[in-house]
Amino acid sequence: MKALAVTGIRSEYDILQPILSALKKTANFDVMLVVTGAHLSATFGETVHEIEKDGFSIVDRIETLLDSNRKSSRVKGLGFALMGLVQTVERVKPDVLLVVGDREEAMATALVGAYCDIPVAHIAGGDRVVGNVDDQVRHAVSRLAHIHYVTNSESGERLIKMGEQPFRVINVGTPGIDRFMSEPHLSIAEVNQQLGLNLPEHSPYLMLLQHVISSEAEQGYWQMQQTLKAVQQLALPTVVIYPNSDAGGREMIRCIEDYAPQGFFVAMKNIPRTPFVNLLRHTACLIGNSSAGIMEAPALHLPVINVGNRQQGRLHSSNVQFVAHDVSLIVEAIKRAVYDESYRQYVAACATPYGDGQAAAKIVTHLQQQQLDHHWLIKDITY
């Protein structure tokens, strides 16, 4: 069975990677990958080279990311992705398409599968994150996709309520946690060496990873500024990771670059997976609005401060404090997360609603047992 996965950005690839690894080890699967979007961008670090190191068969590289801050550029990029992906699919004739999440490549893949009669397995559908076009896109992708590997029970139930046929919905947890579990362990000293950092071994440091919401794109600079000001007050060693390539992301980057000369944090464009996971394992808390704080952090029992509206309303564990873009509120939440022992014990006992690190195995086992015929291809809504 030929499985063709599509990836456009590193956060997404981190979820795909354990699935592709598991599929590749399975006798009857031929795993192929299309690399697109930010992976091919100079600005975002040409992460295609990381993928190449993983050794998967890259069957096409499709450039889609315009050098632009305009909203329109996402739609144009989606157009390029459709044209390119159809060419790939015509050639390699996959038996199943795999894609994650709610970005342009998810939509492109789902449309290609639906129109070309190729079953689409969609990972992480059914989530609900208000206030972002990605939310609409995620739900639309679910309408087009044929198999839904959801990352939590709440999302699975939502898809069934939406009228998706129950046999299509399989809760496997998030594959992102598989990754975290399986990454080799590094000491702080080793992380420092690999990344050229100087983080302390016996005292706390912070991590900051914050993205923009499309509906608040014009506030990107200001939002990042509030968080940086809060971090500055803490006066702890801090690692800031560059945001995504969404509209407004560039404004956040400009803010980071404006503050960087003051020296109270280190900014990194792109951190390889292993040191990234180990940075999270050792950090005192994660600040920003990355989905890692919601999904993977509980498995590390890591305190998270989620700033602003992104991730609001998502299923989460008791490790997350939600705060507004307000310097003093952010400061207070970080202090609690880093210094309040009783709070840290409370977080240490948090539940893990996004799975047990076996998502990839569950997906492979399920996929292996299916005949991907008309039963899967002809969709109906249940009412």
- Residue with smaller CB distance to a copy of itself, 61 or 335: 61
Is residue 190 within 8 Å of 169, Cβ to Cβ?
no
Instruction: Output 128 or 336, the one with its CB closest to a copy of itself.
Output: 128
Rank residues 211 and 282 by Cβ distance to a copy of itself and give the closer one. 211
By beta-carbon proximity to a copy of itself, the closer residue of 92 and 329 is 92
Residues near 293 by Cβ (< 8 Å), separated by ≥ 6?
A: 286, 302, 304, 306, 311, 319, 320
The CB-of-41 to a copy of itself minimum distance in angstroms stands at 4
**Please, which residue, 120 or 320, has the CB nearer to a copy of itself?**
120
**Cross-strand pairs, 374:** none
Supply the minimum distance, in Å, between the C-beta of residue 151 and a copy of itself. Answer: 17
HEC string for 309-330: CCCCCCCCCCCEEEECCCHHHH
d(CA 103, CA 220): 19
Q: Which is nearer to a copy of itself, 88 or 223 (CB)?
A: 88
> How far apart (Å, rounded) are the C-alpha atoms in residues 356 and 175?
9
Give whichever of 90 and 201 is closer to a copy of itself, judged by the CB atom.
Answer: 90
Query: Which one, 341 or 380, has the nearer CB to a copy of itself?
Result: 380
Q: How far is the CB of 352 from a copy of itself (least distance, A)?
A: 23
| Residue 295 burial by Cβ neighbours in a 10 Å radius (0-12, 13-18, 19+) | buried
Residue 148 CB, nearest distance to a copy of itself (Å)? Answer: 13
Cβ atoms within 10 Å of 324's Cβ, excluding its own: 10
Q: Is 307 helix (H, G, I), strand (E, B) or coil?
A: strand
Min CB(171)–a copy of itself separation in Å: 17
Q: Which residue lies nearer to a copy of itself by CB, 81 or 186?
A: 81
In whole angstroms, the minimum distance from the beta carbon of 5 to a copy of itself comes to: 16
DSSP state of 357: S
| Ramachandran assignment for 131, one of left (phi > 0), alpha (psi -120 to 50 degrees), beta (any other) | left
**Whole-number minimum distance, CB 38 to a copy of itself, in Å?**
8
Question: What is the C-alpha to C-alpha distance for residues 13 and 175, in angstroms, rounded to an integer?
Answer: 10
| Shortest spacing between CB 66 and a copy of itself, in angstroms | 5
Structure tokens at 235: 């006066």
C-beta of residue 334 within 8 angstroms of C-beta of residue 230: yes
Nearer to a copy of itself, 97 or 284 (CB): 97
Give the nearest distance from C-beta 64 to a copy of itself in angstroms. 8
DSSP H or E run through 209? strand 206-209
What is the identity of the amino acid at 327? V
For the CB of residue 288, give the shortest distance to a copy of itself in the complex, in Å: 22
CB–CB of 200/237 below 8 Å?
A: yes
Exposed e or buried b for every residue in 245-258, given b needs 16+ CB within 10 A? Answer: bbbbbbbbbebbee
